[in-house]
Amino acid sequence: MSLNSNIPSGPLAQKWDQHKFDLKLVNPANKRKFEVIVVGSGLAGASSAATLAELGYRVKCFCYQDSPRRAHSIAAQGGINAAKNYQNDGDSVYRLFYDTIKGGDFRSREANVYRLAQVSVNIIDQCVAQGVPFAREYGGLLDNRSFGGAQVSRTFYARGQTGQQLLLGAYSALSRQIGLGTVQMYPRTEMLDLVIVDGHAKGIITRDLTNGKIERHAADAVILATGGYGNVFFLSTNAVGCNVTASYRAHKRGAFFANPCYTQIHPTCIPVSGDHQSKLTLMSESLRNDGRVWVPKKKEDCRKRAADIAEADRDYYLERKYPSFGNLAPRDISSRAAKEVCDEGRGVGPSGLGVYLDFGDAIKRLGENKIRERYGNLFDMYECITGENAYRQPMRIFPAVHYTMGGLWVDYHLMSNLPGLFVLGEANFSDHGANRLGASALMQGLADGYFVIPYTIANYFATSKQKCPSTDHPSFKQAEENVTGIASRLLGIKGKRTVRSFHRELGKLVWEKCGMARSKESLEAALKRIPELREEFWQNVNVPGSGQSLNQSLEYAGRVADFMEFAELLCTDALNRDESCGGHFRVEHQTEDGEALRHDDKFAHVSAWEFKGVGNKPELHKEELVYENVHMSTRSYK
């Protein structure tokens, strides 16, 4: 099957504007005849559901949380990028585009990224109009700060809670539509299968998490905005409920999964404290605006208190290795640098897996009050978790899984290879290449939902002749039987091990073999072990309770069952991509300085995988990446 990215022709800067004109429209009176399913209510889901309903489509929106306001976008801390150039520091749409392409290590699509940079400016206008209380200067205008991988200040923020405020903005727009009756909201409802009719995505099967009721929903199109798959690693900064189920079950129905090996390990998270831990907590990248990262120069100093280590004995390794970006080096590079110094035995804290993020100089320069104003809530959170006061002693941080750049394959219209199935936000693969820059996830989620999908979905409706099927169609029956079959199988095993113990073991395996550093040997070992573990899961998992009531063990078991299969896809892709790029670091491919070494001759493509049955090798489809405007240089932040 050929992968057509449907990138419009013409000069980069005019592609989207011209294409918006070329796309077919649905006239206002006809829009109400089309029904759209939106799965997920984070930035991408809520913004698309609200916007499509405003336009006149009939929308059903689903989320597993008890309210759409709780989707995990809410936890994003630092900010959102936009090429407003309010600082007059040389920013432009082209620069944001270029930084994002370069930050992604030349593994994303030029046309998509350019469009993202273009609409970034509209997002800020939209959010302000909704009442998002972005930080302001005394003159009343919006304030900005810097994020990793950029030399301009283009990040808009609302204290350390930008994701919360943006999500509440999208939630307010969504709520308004629910109140008006144009969106039917289904909270505490999980999508468990995608329904394909005549090759088009035309519905979903859901489970009501409060009473176990399985339902069929038909529509003219299905939008997945279901986030990333970071929880395949068990420990990540994702919410504990985040899962790959919706995406993966769509994959099993034929949607291609692109670049699953592109996972982002965020450099500034609170280190793991013990086996009991259920998740890891991010400390916003914005802290690196004022915090300096260091470890002791000498191993023997690692056990000393930070205050007892003399200035001359500290190694500010990011400033040393990357003088022009310093502490704001991109995430993949900062994470690997932290791993490197810890591997050398210079890590700090009880586990030796930690580095310092020190605000001592910033407090001296700006005063404690200024630092409190900028990052107060983050310092409070740090103290809550660790019991340590970061105004008095440096924070300890370590990299943790945070975001996944890979996702379901989509074309320029954000439509998957299955017509009628659109994928937005973190759930798709398209904009961040092999590494995402800070403050770009919020930008992408809202760009997709507010400003891209309204145009492209209309074109699908106007050109596709597929009618919304009845839920009595045999495809619905078959999908429903699949869903009830999985639940009864899980409940019937009555084995000895809990779901969590399987998830923890899988996550540890994937982290060790396919985490910050990957090799042929480690990946082959993982690919050998994952099917064994999956086999054991299906033989020996213990899922108590019944399917006809609220049953958190059953919900969790279904998600972990999918991670058990998805992990194999992730490692297969990582093994196949025999190069290093961005967050995907194959130890066999590095420069003399230990930086990622790409092989553009062999791997300047998107790897899109087609499901071929559980345990069978998926089929690889390639989409070549063509760079007409930027030169694929070696990334340097030195």
Interactions with other proteins, residue window 479-508 (CB under 8 A)? 496, 498, 500-501
Taking the C-alpha atoms of residue 218 and residue 200, their distance in angstroms, rounded to an integer, is: 12
Taking the C-alpha atoms of residue 4 and residue 459, their distance in angstroms, rounded to an integer, is: 16
* Single-letter amino acid code for the residue at 588: E
Taking the C-alpha atoms of residue 614 and residue 265, their distance in angstroms, rounded to an integer, is: 28
Least Å distance, CB 242 to other proteins, is: 8
Residues 294 and 311: beta-carbon distance below 8 Å: no
Phi, psi of 500 (to 5 degrees): -60, -40
Measured from the CB atom, the residue of 555 and 568 that comes closer to other proteins is 555
Within 163-202, the residues that bind other proteins by CB under 8 A are 163-165, 168, 171-173, 175-176, 178-179, 185, 187
Q: Which span (122-130, 192-200, 225-233, 508-516) binds other proteins, by CB under 8 A?
A: 122-130
Least Å distance, CB 20 to other proteins, is: 12
Within 548-607, the residues that bind other proteins by CB under 8 A are 549-550, 552-553
DSSP E strand stretches across 503-555 = none
277 binds other proteins (CB under 8 A): yes
Within 607-626, the residues that bind other proteins by CB under 8 A are none
41 binds other proteins (CB under 8 A): no
Within 218-247, the residues that bind other proteins by CB under 8 A are 237, 239-241
Least Å distance, CB 157 to other proteins, is: 11
473 binds other proteins (CB under 8 A): no
Least Å distance, CB 215 to other proteins, is: 18
- Measured CA to CA in angstroms, residue 299 lies from 58, 105, 296, 310, 341 at distances of 63, 33, 7, 14, 10
Measured from the CB atom, the residue of 455 and 538 that comes closer to other proteins is 455
54 binds other proteins (CB under 8 A): yes
Measured from the CB atom, the residue of 235 and 596 that comes closer to other proteins is 235
Taking the C-alpha atoms of residue 215 and residue 293, their distance in angstroms, rounded to an integer, is: 51
Least Å distance, CB 402 to other proteins, is: 12
Least Å distance, CB 172 to other proteins, is: 4
Report how far Cα 99 is from the mean position of its chain's Cα atoms: 18
DSSP letter, residue 549: S
381 binds other proteins (CB under 8 A): yes
Taking the C-alpha atoms of residue 338 and residue 353, their distance in angstroms, rounded to an integer, is: 9
Q: Which of 11, 21, 28, 276 binds other proteins (CB under 8 A)?
A: 276
* Single-letter amino acid code for the residue at 420: G
Site string for other proteins, 448-467 (x = CB under 8 A): --xx--x-------------
Residues in the chain: 638
Within 327-366, the residues that bind other proteins by CB under 8 A are 350
Would you call 432 exposed, middle or buried from its count of C-beta atoms within 10 A (0-12, 13-18, 19+)? buried
Q: Which of 134, 262, 422, 611 binds other proteins (CB under 8 A)?
A: 134
Measured from the CB atom, the residue of 43 and 569 that comes closer to other proteins is 43
Residues near 488 by beta carbon (within 8 Å), at least 6 away in sequence: 547
Residues catalogued as catalytic = 331
Least Å distance, CB 520 to other proteins, is: 36
- Which pair of structure tokens corresponds to residue 164? 């919360």
Residue with tokens 């600082």: 87
Measured from the CB atom, the residue of 169 and 260 that comes closer to other proteins is 169
What DSSP assignment string belongs to 216-272? EEE-SEEEE-----GGGGSSSSS-TT--SHHHHHHHHTTPPEE-TT-EEEEEEEPPP
How many residues in the shown chain lie near other proteins by CB under 8 A?
83
